[in-house]
Chain A
Amino acid sequence: MDSTDRSLIDAHCQGDPTAFGELVRRYGDSVLGYLMRMTGSREQAEDFFQETFKRVHEKAHTLRGDQFKSWLFRIATRIAIDSLRRRSRLRIISLNQKSDCADIDRQELGAAALADDSYEPSGEAIKAEQAEQVRQAVQSLPAKQRATLVLAYYQQLSFAEVAEVLDCSIGTVKTQMYRALRTLAERLPNIGEDLE
């Protein structure tokens, strides 16, 4: 974390009302992206997002050192894994077969279609379908493997940072990462030339 994160936390602890908003804005996209990939649902991700920053707000005074980003992702991970574990006991059936994220992708594709002359509807539909398959493959991973993959691959945290977030050794992170990738190698769609 750079010094401004620390100063924002300090300002927040001192009662500065704008500091917390600045932190939310600074890390909002990143945390929401992480939670969406963890949950596969925007709605759930937004719930966890609010919960994460609520805890940041309440526990800011307990943060020592400069590792705000790791600390933030650790909170988000705990919330996601705990809540998903709790919710897995309740069977929730969505009325919408595809995930919410897929809808977002489609909206984005629609916007891209308007902007791009070379837009091909069938190609984009295939792409959206494949993105859904990838999402399902990632969702099928055990929570820890999923968290490791998302943090290391999508959030581009170093293995040391991931280890700090997940409170384990770098060796464990690499093992979890390998297991996740081994499983994905069997489940990911062959995108071949479709993405060229």
Chain B
Amino acid sequence: MKRHLTERELIEYQFKLASDVRMEEISGHLEGCARCREHFEQLKCKFSALDLLRQVPRVSEDLIARVIRRAEERPHVKRGAKYLAPPFRRGLPWIGAAAAVLLVGLLLVTYMNRQTMPSREMAEELEPAAEKIKFDVKAESALADRFDKDVAVEKMVAEAPGESEVELKDDGRRRTEESSLVSRASSLGSIAEQPPFAPASAIELVVLPRRENVQLTIYNSADLTLVRERRNLTLKKGWNWLQFMWANTLIDPTSLSLEPLEQKDKIYIQQLVFPARLRELGRWLIHSDFSGQVPFEIMYFTSGLSWRAFYMGTLSQDEKTMHLQGYVRVTNNSGEDYENAQTRLIVGKVHILDQIAELAKRQYPYDRPVVIEEDKKDQLKQMLIREKVPGIGGYGAAGISFEELRPKEIRKEGLSEYFLYTIEGTETITDKWGKRLLSFEAEDIKVVSLYKYDQERFGEQTIRFISIANDKEHNLGETPIPNGNVKIYSQADEQGYLSYVGGTDIKYIPVDEEIELNLGPARLVSVEPILMNYKKDNFVFDRRGNITGWDEIQTWRMEITNTRTLPVEIEITRGFSTAYWTLQADIPYEKYDATHARFKVSLEPRSKRTFEYTVRMYHGERKEVLTKRK
């Protein structure tokens, strides 16, 4: 599809109104077209408003009782066998006869089915067991074949010593349905000649060793969080199975990665398997030449964690300084609790391969398509490099080789436009909970209050702005400030009572950048423009007597009122219908752009001030006057 998608096509795609063929075409186009993707995201965002009405009301018991009572008052007219009567009464006996034959037939079929049922049921019960046996035999021989080719592994196995049992450090507090790790000995006797077959039984499931620590990096724009957790596992010499479950969570199973943090030369992570028929779990096969406790880092992506920044500013009584508190609200809907997590937030847009939530819902994570576009792969690599990923054991199953994703060097320059925002200390973020965290606090930030009057932008209202800069001079500037909502309060009196001044959304403020906050209409400062004089002059005519040029002269009086108890400064912008104009005013002005002039006026507390200006606008051939003058 060469052209861009229309809004209709995008709507039809989102709500699955198009045919399957068309859906595939649109999907294909969206994958390759950033512009349409952006348009689609905008539409999705728009329609997400519909979810505000998702809540289902509950019917009150009172209403149900009323409905039932009403029904009981009026027993239904026809019931039971009576409603079968009309066809017979209408003289259609053959319908009755046909129905009787059908009924008898049906009864006979049901009876015969019942007779054959037990043997059928037994066969159904036996079938999976038979299949399982077949599968086990096949898989064992397949693994054996593969292992024969794997010289490195073979050598390791030959060198491995005898006994192999596994202990598991267990705090006994975790529920079994949560993500869990299992470590078990692969064989009871000496180390096997080949890696053991992935255990398909759930009998060996045990609870998880407690996390030593966990780090969350939340990429808000992509509904993506990188989780790096450290757990101490006790391994025995030989082969060990480690099981990870992600039931009831939004973890992306294709992103699972495991890496020993110590004894790296003695521990070899051979593979990650997703056993058939067992849902939502993966098992790592680990060979260890070391016996004892080893810290491991488990890393994966999950969805469902998000954050949002917001700010509260309190202006001093003279409105020259402000106390600013920055907060971050982290919300966890991932299905997993994260205790004492070091939380890092990514400000900026990150493009990712898939929606992680979708991946988490897949029944067979290893069965996903392996085609990954080169540019997307690069993005993922870069992101992982930035996160100092030590190794990606689990990606073999997803079609990306171990070596391919192993970072060769750590580069930070020019990777992306996003910024890492780290919350001090650690926080416990429980599933389905939100948590508000203070991200920074700054006192005595110098602010500049400015009122603006611009009819074209704000109508007849005067709008209040305050500006601050994210730099050292303003007691800020240590980190960029993420986008979020800011609310400004003012100290109403010396007792510290506050009054709400206004609020606005702010964009990301880099260090050393200035920002202007629009606090909304000001009721105590007003500007009233009054047209004092209007005339047209200096008409120019062509040979036929038609007007081909003229001057338009307007005289305006601007009345400014400040009823506040503080002095104010107002910026008044006036627009003209042409770029050819000259202006004479009582006070200095600045030519803001081709068609606008700007005045700055200071007013004392509770005062009024007026000034006048006359603008001459040149139309038609009269424009030449100005051009020649220039």
Say yes or no: A29 contacts B59, CB within 8 Å.
yes
Task: Tell me whether A188 and B50 are in contact (CB under 8 A).
Answer: yes
Most interface-central of A46, A60, A182 (chain B CB within 10 A): A46
Contact with A along B504-520 (1 / 0, CB 8 A): 01000000000000000
Q: Which of A50-58, A66-74, A75-83, A90-98 contacts B (4 or more CB under 8 A)?
A: A50-58
Q: Closest approach, in angstroms, between the C-beta of A178 and any C-beta of chain B? A: 6
- List residues of chain B with CB within 8 A of the CB of A65: none
Given A29-B57, A122-B487, A191-B52, A53 and B67 contact (CB-CB distance below 8 Å):
yes
Name the CB-closest residue of B to A138.
B53
Among A49, A61, A122, contact of B78 (Cβ-Cβ < 8 Å): A61
Whether a CB of chain A sits under 8 angstroms from the CB of B158 is no
Let me know if B67 and A50 touch, CB within 8 A: yes
- Whether B505 and A20, one on each chain, are in contact in the complex, defined by CB atoms closer than 8 angstroms, is no
B70 within 8 Å of A (CB atoms): yes
Contact pattern, A 36-63, Cβ under 8 Å of B = 1, otherwise 0 = 1100001000100110011001101110
- B54 — which chain A residues lie within 8 A by C-beta? 154
Q: With A29-B59, A33-B56, A118-B436 as known contacts, state yes or no: A130 contacts B67, CB within 8 Å.
A: no
CB distance from A135 to the nearest CB of B (A): 6
Contact of B74 among A57, A105, A135 (CB under 8 A): A57
Within 8 A of A (CB), among B9-38: 11-12, 15, 17
Q: Which residues of B contact A12 (CB under 8 A)?
A: 76, 79
Q: Residues of A contacting B329 with CB < 8 Å?
A: 118
Contact B52 A49 (CB under 8 A): no
Give the A interface residue count (CB, 8 A). Answer: 61
Segment from B41-49, B101-109, B195-203, B273-281 that makes contact with A: B41-49
Residues of chain B in range 53-108 having any CB-CB distance to chain A below 8 Å: 53-59, 63-64, 66-68, 70-72, 74, 76-80, 82-83
Q: Which residues of A contact B505 (CB under 8 A)?
A: 193
Please name all residues of chain B whose beta carbon is closer than 8 Å to the beta carbon of A184 when the two chains form the complex. Answer: 47, 50
Is B8 part of the contact surface with A, judged by Cβ < 8 Å?
Answer: yes
Chain B hits for A15, CB < 8 A: 79-80
Say whether A13 contacts B83, CB under 8 Å: yes
State A177–B401 Cα separation when bound (angstroms).
45
Interface size class of B (residues with CB under 8 A): 35 or more
Contacting residue for A193 out of B74, B80, B308, B487, CB 8 A: B308
| A134 close to B50 (CB less than 8 A) | yes
Which residues 573-623 of B have a CB within 8 angstroms of A?
none
| Cβ contacts under 8 Å, A60 to chain B | 76, 79
Query: Do B45 and A17 have beta carbons less than 8 Å apart?
Result: no
Contact status A196-B308, CB under 8 Å: yes
Query: Cβ of A21: which chain B residues have Cβ within 8 Å of it?
Result: 64, 68
Check A13 against B80 for contact (C-beta < 8 Å).
yes
Q: Say yes or no: B58 contacts A29, CB within 8 Å.
A: yes
Partner of A182, one of B8, B55, B63, B71: B8
Say yes or no: B80 contacts A14, CB within 8 Å.
Answer: yes
* Shortest beta-carbon distance from A156 to chain B in Å: 10
For B80, give the chain A residue with the smallest CB separation.
Answer: A14
A28: Cβ under 8 A from any B Cβ: yes
Neighbouring B residues of A116 by C-beta, 8 Å: 434
Partner of B503 from A50, A122, A196 at Cβ < 8 Å: A122
The yes or no answer to A160 lying at the interface (CB within 8 A) is no
Q: Are B59 and A191 touching (Cβ within 8 A)? A: no
User: Are B47 and A134 closer than 8 Å at their CB atoms?
Assistant: no
Q: Which residues of B contact A53 (CB under 8 A)?
A: 67, 71
Task: Give complex CA distance A61, B76 in Å.
Answer: 9
Measured between alpha carbons, how far is A54 from B67 in the docked complex, in Å? 7
> Main SS of the interface on chain A?
helix
In the assembled complex, A144 has its CB within 8 A of some CB on chain B:
no
The interface residues of chain A lying within 8 Å CB-to-CB of B470 are none
CA distance A195 to B53 in the complex (A): 13
Interchain CB contact (< 8 A) of B49 among A28, A123, A130:
A130
Point out the residue from A54, A190, A191, A196 that lies within 8 Å of B70, measured CB to CB: A54
B57 and A33 within 8 A (CB): yes
Query: CB-CB < 8 A to A138: which residues of B?
Result: 50, 53
B254 at the interface (CB under 8 A from A): no
- Kindly state whether residue A113 has any CB partner on chain B within 8 Å: no
Give the CA-CA distance A61 to B46 in the complex, in Å: 45
Give the shortest distance, in Å, between A149 (CB) and chain B (any CB): 8
Q: Give bound CA distance, A133 to B46, whole Å.
A: 13
CA A174 to CA B71, docked complex, whole Å: 36
A32-B59 contact in complex given A17-B72, A122-B487, A196-B306, C-beta closer than 8 Å: yes
Q: Are A49 and B487 in contact (CB under 8 A)?
A: no
- Pair A24/B64 contact, Cβ less than 8 Å: yes
Inter-chain contacts of B79 with A (CB < 8 A): 12-15, 60-61
Q: How far is the CB of A136 from chain B (nearest CB, A)?
A: 11
Q: Which B residues between 315 and 352 are near A, CB-CB below 8 angstroms?
A: 329, 331
- Min CB gap A91→B, angstroms: 25
Q: Are A135 and B53 in contact (CB under 8 A)?
A: yes
A25 touches B64 (CB 8 A): yes
Given that A37-B53, A184-B50 are known contacts, is A24 also in contact with B68, CB under 8 Å in the complex?
yes
**Closest chain B residue, CB of each to CB of A173:** B17
Closest to A27 in B: B59
Given contacts A14-B79, A154-B53, A193-B308, contact A178 B11 (CB under 8 A): yes
Asked whether any CB of chain A lies closer than 8 Å to the CB of B435, the reply is: yes
Q: Can you offer 14 A-B residue contacts whose CB atoms are under 8 A? A: A15-B80, A29-B58, A30-B56, A54-B70, A108-B55, A130-B52, A131-B52, A135-B53, A152-B15, A181-B15, A182-B11, A185-B46, A193-B483, A196-B220
Interface residues of A (CB under 8 A from B): 12-15, 17, 20-21, 24-25, 28-30, 32-33, 36-37, 42, 46, 49-50, 53-54, 57-58, 60-62, 104-105, 108, 116-118, 120, 122-123, 127, 130-131, 133-135, 138, 152-154, 174, 177-178, 181-182, 184-185, 188-193, 195-196
